[in-house]
């Protein structure tokens, strides 16, 4: 298993020699020691990415780059099972979810290989101008060196969402994975090494937020910052980018609403509500963590939801049948249980959960938890908990539901369920969120844009929008008339 930084096509020890532990959240045991990059290593990685960009990668055709991206996908595919198991051990998620993530990550590399090829066809597109003496063509050029900082909730998948479009566009990358889940990023570096990606095109630097992410976000030779993580870190990254006007995209937090009308099928509603909050232990930026349920269906729905939540099998993600693993770390466990304690001390009524499962002594496990009727100004209702904690409120009318759903500083995702298609479409159009699901919650496709409004971020990943993140648009305008221009020098 790789245990060095990957810089300029070589494995190297960190300049200061530091290392940190990555821990299996199901057992609380150290999995591996990981190199701790500091500013000196970031300097080397950025310089390597700069050289790789200027010397060649930035000038390659999309078709040439597609070959390398597909080779990376092939390498990951050949080791899919091993990578899924590693993701479970580093992050805690149930194995079937990790398998899903790795499959999606591979699909993401293949998709952007396709878009790299299409990019060649889009180059030099003619733009009609109102003055026929001029001809204009449009070129799409890579943004340069991309500094990419990612979180721990979908380690390899978040990496793919950033690295695949950047490579497709012709940018070079310095990637810093989360210190909580760095292992599959090091495996990607090993795949890049094996698949012959030119030196410096992809650099992977493991390290802590302030010590490695900070210098990367401030580095003057970085052209683009792509960040996924929390709002407070996003604010820091945005300030760093402002200093020299770096191109920036931010995918931040959420507190997304799921609106269920009383003509919905109870079983279908329960299934999607659970998928929306218990998948990945609720550690999902788009988790539909606020349930708004219409009064006519509320009692029946909640009774069934509580029953189904209690039936979820909790345990080590590697054990068969487990659908809820541990939270990612001790600090995340403490943060989430802190919210639960607030809820229990008067902010809301606990319907189920809120405790460590009795049969699990080690690991950061928490039962699926549901709170009823927190007040609209409570922390529980307004803040992102990022754990398996659902908060429920009732509504009477469509207008009331929409107002409650939109009353948030976040605007990442939302979901609506109703048997009335017109009503569902109307509510979907009224929701202030970048992603809206109708009659489901969470299904995510590489082809469709991903990102939020308000404090949930800036820009969109995935689909063709993800590629645009790493492209500069250039106009080349040519004067073609035989007649002189004749402004200063009269003919």
Choose one: 120-128, 146-154, 358-366, 397-405; the region binding ligand NAD (CB under 6 A): 146-154
Q: Does 411 bind ligand NAD (CB under 6 A)?
A: no
- The encoded tokens of residue 125 equal 């597109």
Is there a contact between 353 and 387 (Cβ–Cβ < 8 Å)?
A: no
- The encoded tokens of residue 339 equal 């919210």
Q: Does 217 bind ligand NAD (CB under 6 A)?
A: yes
Q: Does 155 bind ligand NAD (CB under 6 A)?
A: no
Nearest CA-CA partner of 476 in 120, 125, 150: 125
Q: How many other CB atoms are found less than 10 A from the CB of residue 352?
A: 19
Closest distance of CB 442 from ligand NAD, Å: 12
Applying CB under 6 A, among 75, 97, 251, 347 the residue interacting with ligand NAD is 251
Q: Which of 87, 97, 187, 251 is catalytic?
A: 251
Q: Does 276 bind ligand NAD (CB under 6 A)?
A: no
- The encoded tokens of residue 262 equal 């009383």
Q: Does 210 bind ligand NAD (CB under 6 A)?
A: yes
Choose one: 51-59, 127-135, 143-151, 438-446; the region binding ligand NAD (CB under 6 A): 143-151
Task: Decide whether 252 or 370 has the Cβ nearer to ligand NAD.
Answer: 252
- By CB under 6 A, the count of residues binding ligand NAD is 29
Q: Does 87 bind ligand NAD (CB under 6 A)?
A: no
Q: Does 254 bind ligand NAD (CB under 6 A)?
A: yes
Q: Does 176 bind ligand NAD (CB under 6 A)?
A: yes
Burial 446-456 (b: 16+ CB within 10 A, else e): beebbbbbbbb
> Catalytic site residue 125?
no
Residue corresponding to tokens 């096509």: 9
> Catalytic site residue 285?
yes
Q: Which of 87, 179, 187, 285 is catalytic?
A: 285
Nearest CA-CA partner of 477 in 140, 126, 136: 136
Task: Decide whether 176 or 393 has the Cβ nearer to ligand NAD.
Answer: 176
Is there a contact between 463 and 448 (Cβ–Cβ < 8 Å)?
A: yes
Q: Does 253 bind ligand NAD (CB under 6 A)?
A: yes
Is there a contact between 77 and 104 (Cβ–Cβ < 8 Å)?
A: no
CA angle at residue 366 from 233 to 315, to 5 degrees?
110
Q: In what order do the strands lie in the sheet containing 471-479?
A: 125-127, 134-142, 471-479
In DSSP terms, 349 is beta-bridged to 372
In DSSP terms, 258 is beta-bridged to 291, 415
Applying CB under 6 A, among 58, 165, 368, 457 the residue interacting with ligand NAD is 457
Residues at the contact surface with ligand NAD, assessed by CB under 6 A: 149-153, 176, 178-179, 209-210, 213-214, 217, 228-230, 233, 236-237, 251-254, 285, 384, 386, 412, 452, 457
Residues serving a catalytic function are 251, 285
């Amino acid at each position: 298993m790789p245990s060095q930084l990957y810089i300029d096509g070589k494995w190297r020890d960190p300049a200061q020699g530091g290392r940190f532990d990555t821990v299996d959240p199901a057992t609380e045991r150290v999995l591996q020691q990981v190199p701790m990059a500091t500013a000196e290593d970031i300097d080397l990685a950025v310089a390597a990415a700069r050289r790789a960009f200027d010397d060649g990668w930035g000038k390659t055709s999309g078709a040439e780059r597609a070959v390398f991206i597909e080779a990376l996908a092939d390498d990951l595919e050949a080791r899919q099972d091993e990578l899924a198991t590693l993701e479970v051990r580093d992050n805690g998620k149930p194995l079937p979810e990790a398998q899903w993530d790795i499959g999606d990550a591979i699909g993401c590399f293949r998709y952007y290989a396709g878009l790299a090829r299409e990019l060649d066809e889009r180059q030099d597109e003619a733009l009609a101008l109102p003055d026929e003496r001029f001809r204009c063509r449009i070129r799409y050029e890579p943004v340069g060196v991309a500094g990419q900082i990612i979180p721990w909730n979908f380690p390899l998948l978040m990496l793919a969402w950033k690295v695949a479009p950047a490579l497709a566009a012709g940018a070079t990358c310095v990637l810093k994975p989360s210190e909580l889940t760095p292992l599959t990023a090091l495996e990607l570096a090993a795949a890049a090494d094996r698949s012959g990606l030119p030196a410096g095109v992809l650099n992977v630097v493991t390290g802590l937020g302030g010590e490695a992410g900070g210098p990367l976000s401030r580095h003057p030779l970085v052209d683009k910052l792509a960040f996924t993580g929390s709002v407070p870190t996003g604010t820091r990254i945005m300030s760093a980018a402002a200093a020299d006007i770096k191109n920036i995209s931010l995918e931040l937090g959420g507190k997304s609403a799921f609106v269920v009308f009383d003509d919905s099928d109870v079983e279908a509603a329960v299934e999607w509500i659970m998928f929306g909050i218990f998948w990945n232990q609720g550690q999902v930026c788009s988790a539909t963590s606020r349930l708004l349920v219409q009064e006519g269906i509320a009692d029946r729905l909640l009774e069934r939801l509580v029953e189904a939540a209690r039936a979820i099998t909790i345990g080590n993600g590697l054990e068969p049948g487990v659908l809820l693993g541990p939270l990612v770390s001790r600090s995340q466990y403490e943060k989430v249980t802190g919210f639960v304690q607030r809820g229990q001390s008067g902010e809301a009524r606990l319907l189920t959960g809120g405790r460590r499962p009795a049969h699990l002594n080690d690991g950061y496990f928490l039962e699926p938890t549901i709170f009823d009727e927190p007040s609209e100004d409570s922390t529980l209702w307004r803040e992102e908990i990022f754990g398996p904690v659902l908060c429920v409120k009732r509504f009477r009318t469509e207008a009331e539901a929409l107002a409650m759903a939109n009353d948030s500083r976040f605007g990442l995702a939302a979901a609506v369920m109703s048997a009335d298609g017109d009503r569902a479409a109307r509510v979907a159009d009224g929701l202030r969120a970048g992603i809206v699901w109708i009659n489901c919650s969470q299904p995510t496709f590489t082809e469709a844009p991903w990102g939020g409004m308000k404090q949930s971020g800036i820009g969109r990943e995935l689909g063709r929008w993800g590629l645009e993140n790493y492209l500069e648009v250039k106009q080349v305008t040519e004067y073609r008339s035989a007649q002189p221009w004749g402004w200063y020098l009269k003919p």
